[in-house]
Amino acid sequence: MLETLQKCFREVSESGFDKEKSEVLCVVETAGGVASPGPSGSLQCDLYRTITQFG
């Protein structure tokens, strides 16, 4: 899942958020909010923080 989200965000980011260039729709749903624990036990906000830091 993490790899898929990273790819999705990277493609949108690299397209310059241009609707004509971007063919990717990123939808991230978090049950209970981003401060809920993920499958590994760490908080979801910690997981998402790592995938939004490009470069």
- Range of 36's domain? 2-51
pLDDT of residue 50 exceeding 60 = yes
Q: How far apart are CA 53 and CA 55, in angstroms?
A: 7
| Residue whose pair of structure tokens reads 């990273």 in the numeric block | 6
Confidence band for 24, pLDDT divided at 50, 70 and 90 = low
Of the candidates 47, 55, 41, the residue with the CA atom closest to the CA atom of residue 4: 47
pLDDT of residue 52 exceeding 80 = no
3-class secondary-structure state, position 37: strand
> What does the DSSP assignment read for 10-22?
HHHHHTTT-TTT-
How many structural domains are present in the chain?
Answer: 1
Average pLDDT, rounded, for the chain: 71
Average pLDDT on 26-50 reads 75
Contacts of 44 (CB under 8 A, 6+ apart): 30, 33, 34, 35, 36, 37, 38
Q: What tens digit of pLDDT does each residue of 9-23 get?
A: 777 777 665 555 556
